[in-house]
A and B are shown apart, each in its own frame.
Chain A
Amino acid sequence: MEDMIRVQGLAKRYDDFALEDVTFSVPAGTVVGLVGSNGAGKTTILKTILGLATPDAGSVRLLGCDPNAHEPGNGVDKVKARVGVVLDTCAFPMVSRVADVGTLGRAAYSLWDESRFEALCDEFDLGQKKAVKDLSRGMGMKLTLAFALSHDPELLILDEATAGLDPMARDEVLDILRRFMEDESHAILFSSHITSDLEKIADEVICIEAGRMIFDMPKDAICDEAGIAHCRAADVERLAGSEFADGFYALHRAMSTDLLVPHRFDFARAFPDIPVDRISIEDYMALMLKGEPIGQSPRLQDTSKGAQR
Chain B
Amino acid sequence: MRAMIFSDLITSKNSALALLGTTMLIAIFIAIPTGTLYGAIGACAAMVPFMYLFSISAYDEQNGWERYRLTLPISRRQVAYGRYASMLVVCVCSLVLAIVLGLAIGLVCDMLPAETVPEGVRLSNAGVGEVVGTALLTQTVILFVATLVLPFILRYGMTKATRIAPMLLIFVFAGVCVLAGNTPVGAQIESFVAGLGAGEMAALVVGVIAVVLALYLLSSLVAARLYEHREL
Contact = CB atoms under 8 A, between A and B. Distances in A.
A85 B11 contact: no
A85 B68 contact: yes
A304 interface: no
Nearest to A97: B14
A51 B77 contact: no
A70 B6 contact: no
Contacts of B6: 103-104, 107-108
Contacts of B65: 91-93
Contacts of B21: none
B62 interface: yes
Given A70-B228, A91-B68, A108-B3, A100 B75 contact: no
B232 A52 contact: yes
B33 interface: no
Contacts of B76: 70
Interface residues of B, number: 29
A93 B71 contact: no
A97 B13 CA distance: 11
Contacts of A76: 75
Contact of B10 (A89, A90, A96, A109): A96
B59 interface: yes
Nearest to B78: A77
Tell me the interface secondary structure of chain A in the complex. Answer: loop
Interface in A123-146: 131
B186 interface: no
A157 B67 CA distance: 14
B73 interface: yes
B73 A50 contact: no
B209 to A, nearest CB: 29
A87 B67 contact: yes
Interface string B48-83: 000000000001001111011111111111100000
A93 B67 contact: no
Given A80-B74, A92-B63, A93-B63, 8 more contacts: A54-B231, A70-B75, A85-B68, A87-B71, A94-B59, A95-B14, A95-B59, A100-B10
10 contacts: A52-B71, A54-B231, A70-B228, A78-B73, A91-B65, A91-B69, A93-B63, A95-B59, A103-B6, A103-B10
